[in-house]
Each structure stands twice: as structure tokens, then as C-alpha cells.
Amino acid sequence: MSHTPPHQYPGRLVVVEGIDGSGKSTQMDLLSDYLQSKGFGVLKSAWNSSPDISPIIRKAKKKQILTPYAFSLLHAADFSFRYTYEILPAMEAGMVVLSDRYIYTAIARDCARGIPKKWLLSNFRFAIVPDVTFFFRVDPEISYQRITRTRPIKFYEAGMDLNLSANPRESYILFQSKVLSEYEAMKNENGFHIVDATMSLEKTQASMRRILAPIIRSIS
Amino acid sequence: MERTTQYPGLLIAIEGTDGSGKTTQAELLKHYYLARGVGVVVSACNTVELIRGAISNLKQQNFLDPVTFSFLYAADFVDRFEHQIIPALEAGQLVIAEQYVYTVFGRAILRGIAPEWIANIFDFALVPAKTFYLDLPVEALLERVHWKTRQERFFDYYEAGMDLNLSNRKKDSFVIYQRRLIDMYREMARTYTMETIDAMQPIVRQQKTLRAKIDNLLSAHRKGIGQSGGDL
């Protein structure tokens, strides 16, 4: 099987999407080790991690002062910075870019916050289409349990800014269910590979590698 | 962008290059309307501290990607829009926005950004009842800037458009860049049906024109919302 990339770069863009607590970061780490052991150059890029912009997002989140549009625009700035200065250079250099969340995160979350999809699609139209997108599907109840095992739920991930419920757990379930249905609405059009997050770690990794094989084989 | 008609207040914007006299005209308008019992808010573009810090860090490291900057300027504007402009309009005040979205449009477009892309980002904003463009030829702008810099500072790298590689000399780059920016403003003045004011005229003359136009807009607006009991 050969793979023709949806872009002209020699590199490959591999994306994982889904709500937190779905195990996608763990799978990305495993994938990164695997690819490096096979001799590929790998760049991992995580959501909200640009050196100059992500700190201001974190500060604003702490103060709980972000409106949906401010939230969206600051995350877009963070993404576009990483896109220009991390992702594209690695793509040009023929590396495999493992992007933990991509534009679909912004679209799903911000739509769930009531922002028009048309506006978001236009904002992110500069971003190339990934070679493959894995969508980790997990029930919000389960993801809530997984997250709260190690840390409390955060204000914005629970959608507390939307006043859905005064109870963080209830708010989280309501908000993330909305996010999930936005992902579902995008999955066919964008060819997401659905990963059942209740599957074992090994099985998931094996199936991701299988899907990836023809995509990375054609890297020159 | 939507029109402002649903609010009891009225939104006016003043655009123009640095040194075109926006601040002076806005301040004079404010005093004039306050004296006549109209609630006025001058909304200037004072970048939010957090965002200003990020912008200056990025500029210092030469990270000047125009897409990233467009989002940051929009994030800054949305804060001013939602926390200052909208509440004032809801409270029935006259809002004079000194520098609105069009300056950001112009700077982005000159750096290769598609006009409809940047316009879409600012789609959440409102179309002012009127935008006044203070038009100043580049030669006059140069004189004013020189005069200003003796007391303040010399224009920075970005204001001189040095990132566009127009010229190695900062002053030449500034002239080419500002000339292009002025052309862009003039084009936007047509596209967005702005009212162009000749900024070479004496300050008082410009002010008189602005007052006459805004008086008309205010009385038309009062009539329009007369039944619903607006405050203006």
C-alpha cells in the first residue's frame, strides 16, 4: 500500500485527538519511542505549549477571566506559533510530527462553547490536513474518573465558564459530552481513525502502528 | 460584523496612521459631548498587559509570523470589545473607538494575510455607526513623527516595517511602509465606506466636521430608538 500525503511536505503529520483521560498521550509516547527506534526523526508537539503564549493562557485561566472568544483566539495564537515554528520546519525536514491535539480540539471545544463553526473553520484554514488522525473515543464519565485519580478537574475543562451546573462533576460531564458530539460530527469528513479507549494499551498501540505503517513507509 | 443598532449607545471609530491626530480629536470630542450631557467613553487601543508582554517577547526573538500576530491582536481586541465597548453601548453611551479593527487589517494584509481571512477573525465585532479616517500624506507624517521623537522615542522595528525587507535603512523602510499603509487605509476607506477627514486641516476645522457628522448620527440614533427609551 502506498500513501500519498494530503500536503507537499516530505514529513508526515500524525495527530491524536479526543478528550483528556482517554490515554492518547501515553500512546503518543509509545509511538514516539517506536518510531525513533526505527530511525525516524520525531517531533512531538503538544497543545498549548508555545514558550511565549501558553504562559499567558495559563495565567488567564487561573484568573478565570476568559470569555469564549478570548479563549479561542489565544489558543489559536498558541497553535499558529507552534505550527509555524515547530510543526512546519519538522515537516520540511522530513520528520514524523506527533501532534497531541490539533485544530480539531479547538473546533470541538469552541463549538461546544457556542462559537460558530464557520468562524473557526476559517480561522484554521491555514493548517495542513494531517496524514492520519486518531480519535480516542471515551465516555466522559470514564474520563472524569481517570483524570480525578491524579488531579482535580480544572475550571475550563469542566466548562464551568458556561454555567451548565454549579457541580464541577456534572458540569464536566455535560460540557465534555458536547465536545464529544462535536468530534463525532467531524469524524467522517476528516477521516478520523476511531480508537476505543477501553481497549488494552498494547492492543491500541499495535493497531496504531498497523495504520501508520504504510504512511511512514513512503517517507523518502 | 453586525451593525450596532440593537444597542442604546452609539459606536464611532477613528482610524489613521500614527501622528494623524486621532487622540487629539477623540479627546476634543469627549469634552464637547460630556459638556452637553452625553455620556462618552473613549476606547483607546491600550494592549492588555499579558498580551503586550507576549507580543514584545515574540518581536524581540524575531518571531513575527503574521498569522500568530493576527490572533494575538484579535485576542487583545476581543477583551477591549467585550469589557469596555459593549458595556458602554449597553449603558447608552457614545463610544469613540480610537483605532478600531481596520489598523490591524492593514498591517496584516501588508504582511501577506488574505483580507477576507483577517476580516472573518473580527466578525464578532460590530460595524461602527461611522468610521472616520484621518488621512495624512506620508510627507506630513514624517515631519510629525520627527517632531514627536525628540520628546518620545524613535519608531520601532515593526512600525518601520523592517520585517518586510523593504530597505536596510530604517528611515527608508519607514517611508515605504507607511506609504503602503496609507494606500491600504485609503482602499479600506472605500471598501468599508469610511468618512475621510483631511488631517492636514487645522485641528479645529477637523473637529467641527466631526462634531457636525456625529451630531447628525446621534439625533438619527435617538429617533431610531426613541420608543425604547435610549439614554443618548
Q: Between chains, do B65 and A123 touch, taking CB under 8 Å as contact?
A: no
Q: How far is the alpha carbon of A47 from chain B, nearest alpha carbon, in Å?
A: 15
* Distance, CA of A68 to CA of A116 (rounded, Å): 11
Q: Which of residues 56-85 of A touch B (CB under 8 A)?
A: 56, 59-60, 67, 69-70, 73-74, 76-77, 80-81, 83-85
pLDDT at B230: 47
Q: Which residues of B touch A (CB under 8 A)?
A: 50-51, 53-54, 57-58, 61, 63, 65, 67-68, 71-72, 74-75, 78-79, 82, 117, 120-121, 123-124
Predicted pLDDT of residue B32: 98
- Comparing CB atoms, the residue among B63, B65, B120 nearest residue A119 is B120
How far lies B75's CA from each of A75, B78, B111, B189, in Å? 10, 5, 19, 24
Q: pLDDT by residue (tens digit) across A104-151? A: 999 999 999 999 999 999 999 999 999 999 999 999 999 999 999 999
Closest-CA residue to A19 (of A148, A110, A135): A135
B78–A80 C-beta distance less than 8 A: no
Could you tell me if B180 and B110 are in contact, meaning their C-beta atoms sit under 8 angstroms apart?
Answer: yes
ipTM over 0.85: yes
What element of type H or E holds A136? strand A132-137
Element (H, E) at A96: strand A96-100
Decide if pLDDT at A213 tops 80: yes
The pLDDT, as a whole number, for residue A118 is 97
At B151 the pLDDT is: 47
Query: Best residue in A81, A118, A125 to probe B by mutation, most B CBs within 10 Å?
Result: A81
Please identify every stretch of chain B with a pLDDT value under 50, giving residue numbers as ranges.
151-152, 227, 229-230
* Shortest Cα–Cα distance, B4 to chain A (Å): 19
Distance of CA B201 to the CA centre of its chain: 19
Q: What pLDDT, on the 0 to 100 scale, is given for residue A117?
A: 97
Average pLDDT of the residues of chain A: 95
Which chain A residues are within 8 Å of B68, Cβ to Cβ?
Answer: 53, 77, 80-81, 84
Taking CA atoms, what residue in B is nearest to A125?
B117
Instruction: Measure the CA angle with vertex A150, ends A149 and A153; round to 5°.
Output: 85
Asked if A52 lies within 8 A of B124 by C-beta distance, the reply is: no
pLDDT for the residue A46: 94
Look at residue B231 in the predicted model and tell me its pLDDT. Answer: 53
Residue A187's region, left for phi above 0, alpha for psi from -120 to 50, else beta, is: alpha
For residue A73, give the nearest of B58, B71, B117 by CB distance.
Answer: B71
Over the stretch A3-30, which tens digit does the pLDDT of each residue have? 888 999 999 999 999 988 888 999 999 9
A80-104 residue pLDDT tens: 999 999 999 999 999 999 999 999 9
